[in-house]
Amino acid sequence: MPSTPVTAAISSSNGTAEEILLELVDEDGKTIGTAEKLSAHQAPGRLHRAFSVFLFDESGRLLIQRRALGKYHSPGVWSNTCCGHPYPGESPFAAAARRTYEELGISPSLLAEAGTVRYNHPDPGSGLVEQEYNHLFVGMAQSALRPDPEEVGETSFVTPDELAERHAKAPFSAWFMTVLDAARPAIRELTGPAAGW
């Protein structure tokens, strides 16, 4: 994984990773504490801050990724461009830009906020629960992808019709349609009517 100032700050001096903490929030998105990442996702789940990124190419196609098979949560399923959790005290915008670079090796262009959505989605495959207050972002992918194979199994740019066809045949993350639908107004504003979102 590429090292950034934030990821370097959460590694201990002997090179082993420290536990990853998430921000717990109330129903209004106000921070109320922290929890270890895995424990926050164990049933029934604890409401925590998250983000989802949707990046598009110049033709208005959405970049989706298939999560790496080694991930403990939702391995091998398709999902939005990038998603994750801000570290405590990290802004959702900074976290979205950081994680997009860590996973896909690109810095998003024209990254903009696209609202928030709150959901509770159990993942039948893992038994984990996504209780999230999710900050949405849209932007452009304008440079060559360099995916980290520990995070990303495959990437694809899709039109709305291609996405619908793939969604009908392949497994997607439990949260995918919720975050996509919530981000659609901002997606349409970014991509224009011809893209069909």
Catalytic positions: 83, 132
Q: Sign of the CA dihedral 33, 37, 39, 45?
A: positive
Residue with tokens 């997009």: 100
Phi, psi of 101, rounded to the nearest 5 degrees: -70, -45
Residue 56, SS3? strand
* Percent of the chain that is helix, strand, coil (3-state, to 5): 25, 35, 40
Three-point CA angle 190, 176, 196, nearest 5°: 35
Give the separation between CA 6 and CA 14, rounded to whole angstroms: 17
Torsion-angle region of 29 (φ positive above 0: left; ψ -120 to 50: alpha; else: beta): left
DSSP secondary-structure letter at 19? Answer: P
Q: Which residues, listed in sequence order, are joined to residue 116 by a DSSP beta bridge? A: 135
Comparing CA positions, the residue from 53, 47, 49 lying closest to residue 180 is: 53
